[in-house]
Amino acid sequence: MEPEQRTESNGRRGIGGLVEWASAGIRAIAQPSLTQLVLRFALALPFWRSGVKKWDGFLQLNDVAVFLFSSEFKLHLPGGPYAFPAPATVAFLSGSAEIVFPILLVLGLGTRFAALGLLLMTAVIQLTVPSGWPIHLTWAAMALALMAFGPGRVSLDHLVSRRMG
């Protein structure tokens, strides 16, 4: 091999080695269990914050939540917009789900089911606030990732599955 070819080959190995070294460093930081833990918290947070605002106390839905589902929120479907059916019930169910599902996600308990619940809520929210699609798409992606890959090792789901078998 001529000296020019060796230098060019070493340069490629050097760049390839540097890229591989950097990739290994990134993989070391972005461990799957850490990624899944961060996804669980990131998806739980906006729903928790919204849910907390709907309550005045234990099982005491505030008037603003009922008002929003009665007067402000509409489903933007073809031929609509349409009012929510049974707005007080929908407000109660929504507020409850926005508290329960985030708690389950943070604990990593029933993670796939909680993520599915928040994905369905995201779909309804998208029909209610169509202009919010950039953030709704982000929520949907996080929920789908959790549904596909599960909660990770730092979760009660993982602990339960290890104990059971």
In whole angstroms, what is the distance from residue 115 CA to residue 100 CA? 11
- CA 121 vs CA 7, 115, 128: distances in Å: 58, 10, 10
Does pTM surpass 0.85? no
pLDDT in tens, 70-81: 999 999 999 989
Residues of the chain with pLDDT under 70: 1-12
User: Quick one: pLDDT at residue 57?
Assistant: 86
Where are the chain's structural domains? 1-30, 31-164
In whole angstroms, what is the distance from residue 106 CA to residue 99 CA? 11
Which of 73, 127, 75, 121 has the alpha carbon at shortest distance from 100? 121
- CA 123 vs CA 13, 22, 55, 103, 138: distances in Å: 48, 38, 23, 20, 12
User: Quick one: pLDDT at residue 17?
Assistant: 86
In whole angstroms, what is the distance from residue 93 CA to residue 85 CA? 12
- Enclosing H/E stretch for 76: none
